[in-house]
A and B are shown apart, each in its own frame.
Chain A
């Protein structure tokens, strides 16, 4: 099998939130008590127990209103910064399928993934003082897809907005759909995720610019993650070894040259 992806056609999504519910059901996540925010959007944010969420955007153009839906969850980046900064190996990228998974038993709750994800996806359930806790996020239903099933959100979508399969094939379909939308009167229609962050495993067909949906137009791999892992870490190793070896060398030189009797 080659790299997997899901393609979400947001021009088809009707905002029913079936994916949200299916995600909770399959992953055994409890519901949350929330308060009315003045929108159909609910819950208001991703959380340790909400890994998939439909974001509602009300776009007013002249005297018409467009209701935009966006199913948020882990983007399964081709170059996942979270995997690079995770000190435990709990976050992994499947070398074959390309999906980014989080093994909760290995997580120690440091929360670095939450601070290096350019999309702000992983959520930390932690005690502020002791730091005890776990991170959580969408696993692309690893248990389902490795057994030949589609992810729960894909399976449940009644509108058929989700497609799931090999990434290359989905990209071809997505480009065709974008062309179709452009001709149907959506000049800003676009495909999100083809090249961003090494290519995303969550692809969107959007009617409007990504920023209208609240997506970063040009998400960047955090430079600090590179500096940290590729520069400071090896530098630290070299510096410690060099310092220790130098001192060992000095010790032998000093021993040879210093007459202890003279000192005493």
Chain B
């Protein structure tokens, strides 16, 4: 487990200085993958939408329209390359991340229940313990992973299958490509809000930039990852009991 390795960062501090114990969360490759994928996704969404929305028609015309299509195709290659390079260079980490994205437990249901009070009102008395990714991050990752597979398959067929495959196949691919676009762009808007705009959510951004997270934050928000399942469950039960007692009195 990565989270259990204590980092080199100094632990002894002087009086009056806030001591933060940093623990590693994302490898350099993971951060390059995340931001590379973000930039190419953005480019793909913008260039693709020019063909999709009728009101952008003037830009889609003639030479500029072709250059936009060319940009879409070039960006698509990079968009596909980032995850492939990650899988090739860090197969074990990639597998671990993939497994944790698609692992669903009771805690995820509890997390969803606690989501609205937490994100809207800042109440987080007894949030269900989370693994390296929380339920929302997992949902985002799952949608983007599955969406990317749909993009790649349908996009490559639109690119190389035109005129070779029956027209009904091409038509279906355009439609699926567009549906994937709509679903993932909505997900992207939510992800952008939570990761960048939300007042409470700066910690994730720091991790994705520098690769580390503070031990205190990990204890509170990723207890399952930090402590392991046993202790995380005990702490969660204790918190819930405390909260229930507090409500009674």
Contacts and interface: CB of A to CB of B under 8 A. Distances in A.
Given A131-B69, A224-B171, A247 B121 contact: no
Contact of B54 (A227, A233, A263): A233
B175 A227 contact: yes
Given A130-B70, A247-B197, A263-B122, A88 B189 contact: no
A225 B167 CA distance: 12
Contacts of B163: 111, 114, 124
Contacts of B159: 131
B186 A131 contact: no
Contact of B175 (A131, A224, A253): A224
Contact of B65 (A87, A114, A115, A116): A87
Interface of chain B, main secondary structure: helix
B100 interface: no
Interface string A250-264: 110111011110110
Interface in A58-101: 87-90
Nearest to B186: A243
Given A114-B163, A251-B198, A131 B66 contact: yes
A254 B179 CA distance: 30
Which of A132, A254, A257 has most B Cβ within 10 Å? Answer: A254
B119 interface: yes
B193 interface: yes
Which of under 10, 10 to 19, 20 to 34, or 35 or more describes the interface residues of B? 35 or more
Nearest to A227: B175
Contact of B66 (A132, A250, A258): A132
A12 interface: no
B69 A89 contact: no
Given A114-B162, A251-B198, A258-B199, A88 B65 contact: yes
A240 B189 contact: yes
A205 to B, nearest CB: 28
A258 to B, nearest CB: 3
A240 B185 contact: yes
Contacts of A263: 122, 199-200
Contacts, number: 136
A53 to B, nearest CB: 18
B171 A115 contact: yes
A237 B62 contact: no
A1 interface: no
Nearest to A85: B174
B119 A250 contact: yes
B199 A260 contact: yes
Interface stretch (A35-43, A102-110, A148-156, A182-190): A102-110
Nearest to A89: B57
Nearest to B55: A237
A247 B170 contact: no
Interface in A208-264: 222, 224-225, 227-228, 232-233, 235-237, 239-240, 243-244, 247, 250-251, 253-255, 257-260, 262-263
A22 B182 CA distance: 47
Contacts of B51: 87, 110
Contacts of B171: 115-116, 222, 224-225, 228
Contact of A108 (B61, B119, B181): B61
A262 B120 CA distance: 15
14 contacts: A108-B62, A116-B167, A116-B171, A131-B70, A224-B174, A233-B178, A235-B182, A236-B52, A240-B185, A243-B185, A247-B192, A254-B199, A255-B199, A257-B122
Interface of A: 87-90, 105-112, 114-116, 120, 124, 128-132, 222, 224-225, 227-228, 232-233, 235-237, 239-240, 243-244, 247, 250-251, 253-255, 257-260, 262-263
Interface of B: 50-54, 57, 60-66, 68-70, 73, 119-122, 159-160, 162-163, 167-168, 170-172, 174-175, 178-179, 181-182, 185-186, 189-190, 192-193, 197-200
